[in-house]
Amino acid sequence: MVKKIPERGVIYTKDIQNILGKSPRSAGKYMLKLRKILEKEKEEFVTVDEFCMITGVPQELVKGFL
């Protein structure tokens, strides 16, 4: 029996580095900017849908990096 790994629904700073080609520090600042725009606390996650909505990057491209 093959276990299916579910697709990840959240974006981490490392993902922002890979997707947008930013340095670790810049990716962290960008994550803070996203959370501020979305009015989220530091502990709350940014979803793939929210990331794509704000950045304009297609979901298919983002999911390829996850």
What pLDDT sits at residue 63?
Answer: 87
- Mind listing the pLDDT tens digit of every residue in the chain (66 residues)? 677 767 788 999 999 999 999 999 999 999 999 999 999 998 999 999 999 999 999 998 888 888
Q: According to the model, what pLDDT value does residue 17 have?
A: 95
Assess contact for 35 and 51: CB atoms under 8 A: no
- The helix (H) or strand (E) run that includes residue 46 is strand 46-47
Rounded Cα distance between 62 and 47, Å, is 11
What's residue 34's pLDDT?
94
| pLDDT value, residue 25 | 97
Cβ(18)–Cβ(61) below 8 Å: no
